[in-house]
Homo-oligomer: A and B are copies of this chain.
């Protein structure tokens, strides 16, 4: 935990350093980022960085950890969705849209790209950042898990393992989303988002919708 829990130095300077460092690390990677430039960008002496953080790696870890927490706290899905059986497909598609936007959020994507490469070089990142550097957003996934469980209890869905199903839905969104955007390097158009969300929701419901009687008469979307 180190630097993050025992901040030394004036908090304002510390925050300026972390902001500048986050941008630098995201832009240039760990080795590519320069403490000189970070200090200049933060309007701070270089030594001040060393007063706040143990060294370059310490700064890096603190920045990533803070950003992860912050991003996760900001990502949520419209809580009114998936609460009733009607509009099931529409609601799930809407959830897909929102999840996509959360998962492909610019800052989160940049962070994820950073983690993906640096975790292999800095193993402590894995421990600090909720595993794997995968960069999914725990809160939103937990929320979806809960909804799926409730819908199953309500007889609307037939999901044996809600956590697994939630992960599958996220996978159906995230994987093509990352492929299409080069891991968040470019943005998706509204049409692309719509298409991905619809496709995932359709596929998902085709497998997990509970009423087999409806199945034969189901007019599955294209």
Contact = CB atoms under 8 A, between A and B. Distances in A.
A74 interface: no
Interface in A102-142: 113-114, 116-117, 119-121, 126, 131-134, 136
A73 interface: no
B203 A207 contact: yes
A78 interface: no
Contacts of A208: 206
Interface string A157-181: 0001100100110111011101111
Contacts of A185: 119-120, 132
B32 A134 contact: no
Contacts of A117: 29, 113-114, 116-117
A182 interface: yes
A215 interface: yes
Given A171-B176, A175-B170, A182 B119 contact: yes
B172 A168 contact: yes
Contacts of A171: 171-172, 174-176
Contacts of A133: 178-183
A211 to B, nearest CB: 11
Contacts of A203: 168, 207
Q: Which residue among A172, A208, A215 has the maximum number of chain B CB atoms within 10 Å of its CB?
A: A172
A5 interface: no
Contacts of A176: 167, 171
Given A164-B199, A171-B171, A182 B120 contact: yes
